[in-house]
């Protein structure tokens, strides 16, 4: 039962260009969506979130877009930097209980 | 530093054995979550505790159990270990109150079953 899907296992982008990471979900009970970044041998670190009643949230170089009708969200990183190279996880927060359901992750490689 | 502490960082044990993983949440956080990350896979939710009570359960095997103690630290017990249990186990915490929605993760415990 994959409630959150990240269909692209990896993405390679040139430094300075835009990175777009995508995520689809099936559970309508998510009230928040979150993006986490993970470096090897470290725990995931929180990046940005969006409420299910919003369609956009921006924080510096990171913007998350939510399309509820399509049950799709995306993370835009502009401009991409080599330090952004990591695994990015999309997660939905179940309204009751704060349980986070994660996607499988997308490996982002930013080439200099 | 997320403020979530997991011990040990690495654990190597034999099949059939039992191990205990420990998690200390961020100060004031009431919720503790356990996740498993197997090789090349995403984070699989195992279980959540809130202020000592089990709140949500995911794909946690019957051989696994967890608890949260009055001081809010949590332990994940894995028994009758199999080779396939080798994975990274992450603990996360949240729910200090207020409008924050994110959970903060520890560095993980890498379990290797040989």
What digits encode the pLDDT tens for the residues B23-52?
Answer: 999 998 988 999 999 876 788 989 999 889
Q: Looking at the partner chain, which of A49, A94, A102 has a beta carbon nearest the beta carbon of B43?
A: A102
Q: Is the CB of residue B44 less than 8 Å from the CB of residue B58? A: yes
Mutate to test the interface with B, among A45, A47, A100 (most CBs of B within 10 A): A100
Half-sphere exposure in the Cβ direction for A75 (13 Å, CA):
30
| The token pair that represents B10 in the structure block | 């690495």
pLDDT digits (tens, 9 = 90+) for A14-45: 999 999 999 999 988 898 999 999 998 889 99
Amino acid A96: pLDDT: 66
B101 has a pLDDT exceeding 80:
no
Note whether B103 contacts A43, CB cutoff 8 Å.
Answer: no
How far apart CA B111 and CA B114 sit, in angstroms, is 10
Average pLDDT score over chain B: 91
Mutation choice for A interface testing from B39, B41, B42 by most A CBs within 10 A: B42
Q: Which of residues 62-101 of A touch B (CB under 8 A)?
A: 89, 91, 93-94, 97-101
* pLDDT score for B100: 61
Question: Hey, is the C-beta of B7 within 8 angstroms of any chain A C-beta?
Answer: no
**Percent of chain A, pLDDT > 70?**
95
Centre a 10 Å sphere on the Cβ of residue A49 and count the other Cβ atoms it contains: 19
- Judged by phi (left if over 0) then psi (alpha if -120 to 50, else beta), residue A49 lies in beta
Least confident interval from B6-15, B52-61, B64-73:
B52-61
Altogether, the residues listed in chain A come to a count of: 112
For strand A106-111 and strand A10-14, is the pairing parallel, antiparallel, or unpaired?
parallel
Does residue B71 sit at the A interface (CB-CB below 8 Å)? no
DSSP A14: E
Residue B84, helix vs strand vs coil: helix
Neighbours of A16 (CB within 10 A): 11
Residues 75 to 104 of B: which have CB under 8 A from any A CB?
90, 92, 94-95, 101-104
In DSSP terms, which residues pair with A48 in a beta bridge?
A35
Confidence at residue A1, expressed as pLDDT on a 0 to 100 scale: 59
How many alpha carbons fall within 13 Å on the CB side of residue A96? 3
Region A51-58 average pLDDT: 95
């Amino acid at each position: 039962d994959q409630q959150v899907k990240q269909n692209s296992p990896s993405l390679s982008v040139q430094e300075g260009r835009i990175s777009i990471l995508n995520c689809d979900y099936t559970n309508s009970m998510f009230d928040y969506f979150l993006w986490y970044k993970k470096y090897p041998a470290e725990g995931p670190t929180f990046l940005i979130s969006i409420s299910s009643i919003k369609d956009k949230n921006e924080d510096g170089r990171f913007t998350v877009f939510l399309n509820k009708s399509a049950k799709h969200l995306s993370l835009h990183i502009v401009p991409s930097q080599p330090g952004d190279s990591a695994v990015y996880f999309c997660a939905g927060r179940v309204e009751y209980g704060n349980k986070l359901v994660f996607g499988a992750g997308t490996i982002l490689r930013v080439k200099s | 530093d997320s403020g979530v502490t997991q011990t040990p960082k690495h654990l190597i044990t034999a099949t059939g054995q039992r191990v205990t993983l420990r998690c200390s949440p961020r100060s004031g956080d009431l919720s503790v979550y356990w996740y498993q990350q197997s090789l090349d896979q995403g984070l699989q939710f195992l279980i959540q505790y809130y202020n000592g009570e089990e709140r949500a359960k995911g794909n946690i095997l019957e051989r696994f159990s967890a608890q949260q103690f009055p001081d809010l630290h949590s332990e994940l017990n894995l028994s009758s270990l199999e080779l396939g249990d080798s994975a990274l186990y992450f603990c996360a915490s949240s729910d200090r109150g207020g409008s924050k929605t994110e959970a903060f993760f520890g560095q993980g415990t890498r379990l290797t079953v040989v």
